[in-house]
Amino acid sequence: MNDKVIHPYIDIMESLEVGYWKIVNNENFFWSSAFLENLGYTIDEVDVKLDFFINKLLEEKYKNQFKKNFNNLIKNRSNFNQQIRILHKSGDYKEYTCKTNDGFSLSVKKNSNFIFFIKKRPETHEKLRHSNFYYGETAKMTRTGSWYIDFIQQKSYWDNESKRLLGYSEDYTPSLNESYKYYAPEYHNLATKLFNDCSRGIPFKTEIKMMTASNREFWVKAVGKPIYNETNEVVGIRGVFHDIDEQKQKEITLQHTSNIISSQNSRLLSFAHIVSHNLRSHTSNLELIVRLINSSETNSEKLELIDSIKDISKSLNTTIEHLNEVVTIQTQANHKKEEVNFFIVLNQVKKSISNIIKKNNVTINTDFSLVESIYYVPAYLESILLNLLTNAIKYKHDNRDPIINIKTYLVDKKVFLEFQDNGSGIDMNKFGNKIFGMYKTFHYNTDAVGMGLFLVKNHIQSLNGDITVKSKVNVGTTFKIQF
Amino acid sequence: MACIIDDDNIYVNLIKKIIKTKALCDNLVIFNDGKQSIDYFEALLENLEHDRIPDIIFLDLNMPVMDGWQFLEHFTKIKNKFGKVITLYVVSSSIYPEDINRAKSLETVEDYLVKPVIISDLAKLFGKTI
């Protein structure tokens, strides 16, 4: 009866290639065919006896324990569960788990015992090691760290790649309360917000700047997802971050280059516009004169007209000189930069226009104490200061002597120069976007030709800087240059 | 009466000469930029003297202080207050299609003339309006 209960089970075992021994009356041995097949033997090649198994098939170091377990089973019916290694016909030892029937909750006849030999799957173990290996390699190669924040345990876990990327040792315990410190200071707020939102169930995917243990900042793409328990509460956040610093730096450089190109392009376009418009106005005058000469009846009339060709040629010349100045800037941008002292250059400029300065009773206050010199093209700095200075004097306020304040300072490692006057000012609403345009003048001075600020801006931009202006009518104008 | 708004003195002198020799009109006012002419028109509104209101305006586009476009913006607001039809031509050396189309699309602008103007055309325009 009991045998019948067991047999279907044995069938399943056999079909799963689980080998077993059946021991009846402590001496009558039966080795199942699966047991033999797993080891590569036929029934003729073995002696189905305990001694044969222990002496010929079992690996040395398991012998004593197995004998002990076996005797206990026979004498006391005490069950066991042991790892052993058995000699395969190929000459290799194979790993098995051997278990008695209680491990399968079988009830068997009093006088018989079963021992099952379950092949340990080396490949499972290998597979795990393999996939771990691949995971680790992938993480390493793609520079991707994984992490988990457990809200219940109030703990934060990082994988080894996270620690490596952030420059911490493998035994480092990440801080949960101070987790913002793994991000660049300007991203603390964003990081805090992302994690707070995520703890309320909103996943995130963003580009953010992190900071290593040695305070090196680098860009990552970070993804975080809330983890829920059965009752749908967020119990943690799981995520990865991927080091994209190299790409991001390239992207930033590219963006910067693209900005330069687009500003150069717009200068080129305005240059083309100027060329065609300004040259055209002269040629159209010439054409008109020729027509008039042809239609005029008296010689004196003709001579008078020929005379005015002189004026046209003179103004054509001036225009070409202006255009030449602009072209020279573009080609001179590669000129050698050197250490230029603000004070010395300003003094040179002051000397060159000392007459105008004296005549207009100009006061110039300078403060170059924060940044005394700059690595720049000397001729450009001279031209910039000269143009701003003559500009400020030209457009001084009617009721007061010009006072000019010039200072330099640093913001984010960049040198700035501020140039402030108390002149008549410019109506920013009307002319704000035209101040730096070529031939744009906003005053009635006869010497206003609209070249100075155009050149200044071109000088600055050709060396990747920028200039901005603030002005108030009757109060004054402030130019801010970022070198 | 004609009005020229243009900062190019050489051009203005030539046009003056043409108008004089062809006797195209009796009176001519000249402004070097939009702002000066707008000041003139606004002063006229205070005290409408019929003789000082031009019949025809030749407006340049590229000028310092107040360019042709800004002038058109101001002028469009006040042009109906003079009790007289004022015909306005844009005369520019610009051959950009954007400039030409933009000017022609304005109701205030009668037509767009590309410099140099053709003398006989100029005479015809005067014949039409004066």
ipTM of the complex: 0.82
Summarize the confidence of residues A205-231 as an average pLDDT: 92
Given this model, what pLDDT does residue A449 score? 55
Summarize the confidence of residues A201-213 as an average pLDDT: 94
The Cα B82–Cα B43 span in angstroms is: 12
Q: Which residues have C-beta within 8 Å of that of residue A337, sequence separation ≥ 6?
A: A375, A376, A377, A463
**Percent residues over pLDDT 90 in chain A:** 31
Helix (H) or strand (E) segment spanning residue A288: helix A245-295
Chain B closest-CA separation from residue A280 CA (Å): 6
Summarize the confidence of residues A409-413 as an average pLDDT: 88
B123 in any annotated domain: no
Closest listed residue to residue A354, CA positions, set A344, A343, A346: A346
CB contacts under 8 A, B 10-39 vs A, are 10-11, 13-14, 17-18, 21
Give φ, ψ of A158 to 5 degrees. -125, 150
Mutate to test the interface with B, among A285, A304, A311 (most CBs of B within 10 A): A285
pLDDT range class, residue A163, cuts 50, 70, 90: very high
Closest listed residue to residue A441, CA positions, set B61, B39, B95, B33: B33
CA torsion angle B75 B76 B80 B85 (round to 10) = 80
B125 in any annotated domain: no
Residue B109 belongs to domain with CATH number: 3.40.50.2300
Q: Where are the alpha helices (DSSP H) in A333-406?
A: 342-352, 354-359, 378-394
Q: Where are the alpha helices (DSSP H) in A158-244?
A: 160-165, 188-199
Opening angle at CA A164, ends A195 and A175, nearest 5:
40
Q: Which amino acid is at A462?
A: S
Provide the terminal-to-terminal Cα distance of chain A, rounded to the nearest Å: 99
Closest chain B residue by Cα to residue A448: B64
Is B119 in the A-facing interface, judged by CB distances under 8 Å? Answer: yes
Given this model, what pLDDT does residue A330 score? 62
Is A443 in the B-facing interface, judged by CB distances under 8 Å? Answer: yes
B130 in any annotated domain: no
Give φ, ψ of A94 to 5 degrees. -110, 145
B27 in any annotated domain: yes
B120 in any annotated domain: no
Identify whether the C-beta of residue A239 lies closer than 8 Å to the C-beta of residue A225: yes
Residue B25 lies in domain: 2-114
pLDDT of A421 > 60? The answer is yes
> Nearest CB to A284: which of B13, B18, B115?
B115
Given this model, what pLDDT does residue A333 score? 57
Summarize the confidence of residues A136-155 as an average pLDDT: 88
State whether residue A373 is helix, strand or coil: strand
**Chain B residues in contact with A284 (beta carbon < 8 A):** 11, 93, 114-116
pLDDT of A123 > 60? The answer is no
Yes or no, beta carbons of A292 and B94 under 8 Å apart = no
pLDDT of A352 > 60? The answer is yes
3-state helix, strand, coil in chain B (%, to 5): 50, 20, 30
Give φ, ψ of A174 to 5 degrees. -65, 145
Q: How many CB atoms lie within 10 A of CB A361?
A: 11
Closest chain B residue by Cα to residue A312: B10
**Overall number of domains in chain B:** 1
State whether residue B112 is helix, strand or coil: strand
Helix (H) or strand (E) segment spanning residue A455: helix A452-462
In terms of C-beta density within 10 A (0-12 exposed, 13-18 middle, 19 or more buried), how is residue A431 classed? middle
Summarize the confidence of residues B68-95 as an average pLDDT: 90
In this predicted model, what pLDDT tens digit does every residue of A174-191 receive, in sequence order? 988 888 889 999 999 999
Q: Which amino acid is at A250?
A: K
Given this model, what pLDDT does residue A12 score? 67
B85 in any annotated domain: yes
Given this model, what pLDDT does residue A441 score? 54
- Average pLDDT of chain A, as a whole number: 84
Is B95 in the A-facing interface, judged by CB distances under 8 Å? Answer: yes
Distances (CA, A) of B20 to A296, A304, A416, B27: 12, 14, 57, 10
Cα atoms in the 13 Å half-sphere on the side-chain side of A418: 14
Q: Which amino acid is at A195?
A: F
Closest listed residue to residue A176, CA positions, set A134, A147, A145: A147
